[in-house]
Amino acid sequence: MKVGYPDQMGTPQFKVEVTDYSISVDEWRRAHSAPKGELPELNELQRDVAGRFGISEEKYARSVLAIQYAVRRLRTRAKKLGEEVGKILLETCAECRVTRVVADLARERWIIVLQSPNRRVGITLSQETGDDFLDFATREATEELRTKVRSGLGAGEQGVSPQ
């Protein structure tokens, strides 16, 4: 089985990182309406921060839960983006694989790291283009992703036939 594609359990064979997050309104509402039993246990530092800011531990735990929801959503999106890039690689370079996908929202971008037989390549995709690709599969976003993958690999590594 080629590394970079989901295994039989559906686990991606590449690293997924979320360096920043944005909480959706839905995630905020879910966290603030969750039963108390579903709230995360706060560690000592979190309890101290809540106390210093005069926030109840429950309210702070709900904020932590909203962050957990957001990070989970972004990890799922990064996994999907990596899998889609893996499909593009099947068409362009069978010996290449996705090794890492980073949701870098602080810089409003996605970073996809590829390993070719000759080198490691990082490509960036704007957050807007990545989101358009993931949410709507627009033709423009799909073509931009294909173009970035191909140009990132360079001419020497394109056209390697799929196995």
Q: What is the DSSP string of 53-67?
A: TT--HHHHHHHHHHH
pLDDT of the residue at 53 = 96
Distance CA 12, CA 10 (A): 6
Please report where in the chains the tokens 């690999």 appear, as a residue.
153
C-alpha dihedral (160, 148, 12, 127), degrees to nearest 10: -170
Span 82-100, mean pLDDT?
93
pLDDT of the residue at 162 = 36
* pLDDT > 70 fraction of the chain, expressed in percent and rounded: 87
- Among residues 148, 120, 122, 118, the alpha carbon closest in space to that of 133 is found at 148
Cβ contacts of residue 133 below 8 Å, gap of 6+?
Answer: 81, 84, 125, 141, 142, 144, 145
- Confidence label for 163 from pLDDT (cuts 50, 70 and 90): very low
**pTM for the structure as a whole:** 0.83
Span 133-157, mean pLDDT?
88
pLDDT above 60: residue 8: no
Show the tokens assigned to 120. 């490691």
| pLDDT averaged over every residue in the chain | 88
pLDDT above 70: residue 12: no
Span 120-131, mean pLDDT?
94
